[in-house]
Structure 1
Amino acid sequence: MPLTLYYHPLSSFCHKVLIALYEHGIEFEKRIIDLSSATDRAELEALWPIGKFPVIRDHDRQRNVPESSVIIEYLDQLYAGLHQLIPDDWDTALQVRLWDRLFDHYVQEPLQQIVADRLYATHGDLTKQRATLLTAYGMLERQLHARTWVASPDFSLADCSAAPALFYAITLVPFPHDCRHLSEYFERLTQRPSIQRVIDEAKPWFSFYPFAEAIPERFR
């Protein structure tokens, strides 16, 4: 196969890329990387010295592509089907990239800090991280008024980012009761076939997630 995805099936950033691959119907090979294995870690660092997944190896072009948003843009340009995840219209594309950044920096980052605190039993003060998630929820609630998808009339890169970010975030800080539009949006996301597939593939790994008990029963 022309593409190999170096990833881990529990990683939210890897889920983001998997959603895009499934949306486009792209054939690819999976290579699970166990960061606790020196051999696996060395294999990943040979592709991307930072040592973080996901990374795509494009064998035909002899190119390694790291970072989830960059990977999706790469796929959009070279492997997309009829529907692109980054729109041609500049203003809409700018909004898509903006909300993609919001999910990565203001949902993913605080949730990963909260998860790391439990994983390593550091017992830090996580008030700021939880407040950031609530702020992001409020912004999303306002953005999603009268919208199906978060940044574009069609499903986009921003929605690829939203699904795994929100999936894990709600296990830490549930949506407030007054975030009806956000809750409905999350339901639309989890009913989309590409996202259902990613969740189903991750199920055998959920027991390793430090907040596994908080994953809604219907997803386990």
Structure 2
Amino acid sequence: MPLIVYGHAFSSYTWKVLIALHENATPFEFRQVGPDQPANTTEWLQRWPLRKFPLLVDGERQVVETSIIIEYLQQAHPGPVQLIPEEAALALEVRFMDRFFDLHVMDAAQHAVNGALSGDATKRSEGLALSAEKLERAYGWLETRLAGMTWATGEAFTLADCAAAPSLFYADWVHRIGEPYPVLRGYRARLLARPSVARAVDGARPYRALFPLGAPERD
């Protein structure tokens, strides 16, 4: 039985897992969740009533939370690209950067998205301002942290980059990564050129109208 992934093609956290799967050409069946796919949505809610995706199903086993899913894939369905290093100190760096992108980039961008989804002009303005403040701090730190590196923790593409790709993709839509951050801008460009990431970006193109702040004419 193939692996099954429940999620949505426009979801940043779904991307994170899809990128890991694409990196190793791991076979899987994607079951999109949404109003236009009621059967998939019903199955997903029965399996995971906390209403969060993605959800990975491997036979009788269900795995949730993106970082855990990717670690599970490396253990149960390893491929040529090792997304978490075996060496403990390197693995810790990868896990730290994974959490940084999720907690300090993606979550920061989400304030603006939530404000826009509220339909309230004040909440929209406040959400954008809070996102800009938090993202500027994150961008500044990353500009120094990533200097001299090809990927988030060095020369190897890892779990951290799986997290970085959707985080920086959408964060740049919320609050543009400006000219003062050439290192970070270059890193984002390398991510988007990576075949596994480009595949996720292309799969989400039909849904750009869902972005509540208005999807920019780029990427």
1:212 and 2:210 are equivalent in the alignment: no
Letter of the aligned partner of 1:17 in structure 2? V
1:171 and 2:173 are equivalent in the alignment: yes
Which of 139, 143, 146 is matched with 1:144 structurally? 146
How far did 1:38 drift?
Answer: 7.1
Give me the whole-angstrom Cα distance separating, in 1, the residues matched to 2:211 and 2:4. 25
- 1:73-88 matches, within 5 Å, as 73-88=71-86
- Name 2:56's counterpart in structure 1: 56
Instruction: Report the aligned-residue RMSD.
Output: 1.7
CA separation of 1:7 and 1:73: change in aligned 2, threshold 3 A: same
Letter of the aligned partner of 2:67 in structure 1? S
1:162-209 Cα offsets, whole Å, 9 max, x none, are 001110111111112111110111111111111111111111111221
How far did 1:213 drift?
Answer: 3.4
- Name 2:160's counterpart in structure 1: 158
How many residue pairs are counted as aligned between the two chains?
Answer: 215
- With the length of structure 2 as denominator, give the TM-score of the two structures: 0.92
Give me the whole-angstrom Cα distance separating, in 1, the residues matched to 2:153 and 2:183. 14
Give me the whole-angstrom Cα distance separating, in 2, the residues matched to 1:76 and 1:139. 29
In the alignment, is the contact (CA less than 8 A) between 1:87 and 1:93 conserved in 2? Answer: yes
1:63-98 Cα offsets, whole Å, 9 max, x none, are 000111111111111112122100111111111111
Give me the whole-angstrom Cα distance separating, in 2, the residues matched to 1:55 and 1:139. 31
- Name 1:67's counterpart in structure 2: 65
In the alignment, is the contact (CA less than 8 A) between 2:111 and 2:130 conserved in 1? Answer: no
Q: Report the 3-state secondary structure (helix = DSSP H, G, I; strand = E; otherwise coil) of the residue aligned with 1:6.
A: strand
How far did 1:42 drift?
Answer: 4.0
Give me the whole-angstrom Cα distance separating, in 2, the residues matched to 1:56 and 1:200. 21
Give me the whole-angstrom Cα distance separating, in 2, the residues matched to 1:41 and 1:26. 23
- Name 1:13's counterpart in structure 2: 13
Give me the whole-angstrom Cα distance separating, in 1, the residues matched to 2:19 and 2:42. 26
How far did 1:39 drift?
Answer: 5.9
Give me the whole-angstrom Cα distance separating, in 2, the residues matched to 1:74 and 1:35. 29
In the alignment, is the contact (CA less than 8 A) between 1:96 and 1:152 conserved in 2? Answer: no
Q: Which runs of 4+ in 1 moved over 2 A?
A: 35-43, 126-129
> Where does structure 1 lack aligned partners over 5 or more consecutive residues?
none
Give me the whole-angstrom Cα distance separating, in 2, the residues matched to 1:211 and 1:25. 33
How far did 1:44 drift?
Answer: 1.7
- With the length of structure 1 as denominator, give the TM-score of the two structures: 0.92
Letter of the aligned partner of 1:154 in structure 2? A
- Name 2:109's counterpart in structure 1: 111
